[in-house]
Copies of this chain bind each other. A is one copy, B any other.
């Protein structure tokens, strides 16, 4: 059975792919609005992780709508969830085979991005896919312990780490429309991890 793992380049989506590897034919899927060049970053990291990958485009109207949401809310949670839901839906609707798995890196206590139970049920019923979150039953401590066994990572604040996630492109879009100050109002600085190597 195939499993397409939504891949941001972070440790949670990378570890999710590793947990699925013994049981599924795993492919990494990165969605991009083509605002930033992610090809080289994703390509290098996918090679390091030893998974095939594809970069798919998301309709720019989704990012426009997310920008509106983030500016109106003053925080990015709903905007990022909106992009994520549309990414899963886009992938589900373009699957060539039903009964394949679409997975992402959601952990036990994650709030963003996370799909609601009703969204999951609707996607599974409508498109005949299985939505799977391998880390959903793992808390932060267990995830970190597994990451230490499988990945060599370094950490930094979110501004300085290259990523291929929705937040990076949403920040870029807001920067272009409203300038740097708006970014720091909407997005809290948080620690991000950068994967250097797959250990095993």
Contacts and interface: CB of A to CB of B under 8 A. Distances in A.
A120 B138 CA distance: 11
B124 A132 contact: no
Chain A interface bracket (under 10, 10 to 19, 20 to 34, 35 or more): 20 to 34
Contacts of A136: 108, 133, 136-137
Contacts of A19: 19, 23
B130 A139 contact: yes
A166 interface: no
A131 B1 CA distance: 28
Interface stretch (A64-72, A81-89, A140-148): A140-148
* Across the A-B interface, the 10 shortest Cβ-Cβ residue pairs: A136-B137, A133-B137, A130-B142, A22-B22, A136-B136, A130-B141, A132-B142, A132-B138, A134-B137, A132-B137
Interface of A: 1, 19, 22-23, 99, 101, 106, 108-109, 117, 120, 124, 130-139, 141-142, 145-146, 149
21 contacts: A19-B19, A22-B22, A23-B146, A23-B149, A108-B120, A108-B136, A120-B139, A124-B139, A124-B141, A130-B138, A130-B139, A130-B141, A131-B139, A132-B138, A132-B142, A133-B136, A134-B137, A135-B137, A136-B136, A136-B137, A137-B137
